[in-house]
Amino acid sequence: MALYAIGDTHLSLGADKPMDVFGGGWSGYVDKLRAGFAEIDPEDTVVLCGDLSWGMSLEQAREDFAFLDALPGRKILLKGNHDYWWTTAAKMERFFAENGFSTLEILHNNCRLYGSLALCGTRGWFYEEDREGHGAKIFNRELIRLEASLKAAGEREKYCFLHYPPLYQGYRCQEIIDLLERYQVSRCFYGHLHGGSHRLAISGRQGGVDYDLVSADYLSFRPKKILD
């Protein structure tokens, strides 16, 4: 049994927005994802750190969920900024059950367990949200969701999974970093950064938390093993 993480699969099997059009590492990315998951065993757990499907609704994302569900391992899903299909946890879980997607679980205002370890997380926050007009209301909601997830973990050791990076070169989301440190999160994994932005990623220990970028294109579409 092992724990993995990967973000930004950007699947578009039921919509018309394939990432292959960007060329480079994204060419043939669906096949690369399938090959990357080949090392996953059925009893393993993979946390998917947002931007999973370009579908605009659960129905439009159905083929993408079917693809993910057919991959080996238990998959834990959290929201990214492009997951427009995202709705309430109850609706998503009902949709998964109705379609027989038995390996997909939602990480949203809760935590998931991996042995004695608590897997916590939420979408997070990024400075670009201010430019898009979201402002303090959305930011505060994300802080509430993150703290709810961390509280749900109790006294267990905590790993945190975010879509947005809480820090990178030239940027820090101090409120999120403060929560990670206050709740003694051991490791934090994030996505969202692509292409030339990879060079801005911060990995390693910062203030007691170990950070790692797990965007799919950064990982060459192979989930990162983070715990045996």
Does the pLDDT value for residue 21 go beyond 70?
no
Amino acid 51 reads D
Does the pLDDT value for residue 102 go beyond 70?
yes
Gap between the Cα atoms of 216 and 139, Å rounded = 25
**Considering its fold, how many domains does the chain have in total?**
1
Assess contact for 211 and 202: CB atoms under 8 A: yes
Sequence-ordered strand ranges (E) for 40-184? 45-49, 74-78, 104-106, 112-114, 117-122, 157-162, 167-168, 171-172
Tell me the residue range of the domain where 12 lies: 3-227
pTM: 0.94
Token reading at 63: 């083929």
Q: For the domain that residue 167 is a member of, what is the CATH number?
A: 3.60.21.10
Assess contact for 124 and 173: CB atoms under 8 A: yes
Assess contact for 34 and 11: CB atoms under 8 A: no
Does the pLDDT value for residue 133 go beyond 60?
no
Gap between the Cα atoms of 61 and 94, Å rounded = 14
Mean pLDDT, all residues of the chain: 93
Confidence of residue 26 (pLDDT cuts 50, 70, 90): confident
Confidence of residue 35 (pLDDT cuts 50, 70, 90): very high
Does the pLDDT value for residue 131 go beyond 60?
no
Does the pLDDT value for residue 132 go beyond 60?
no
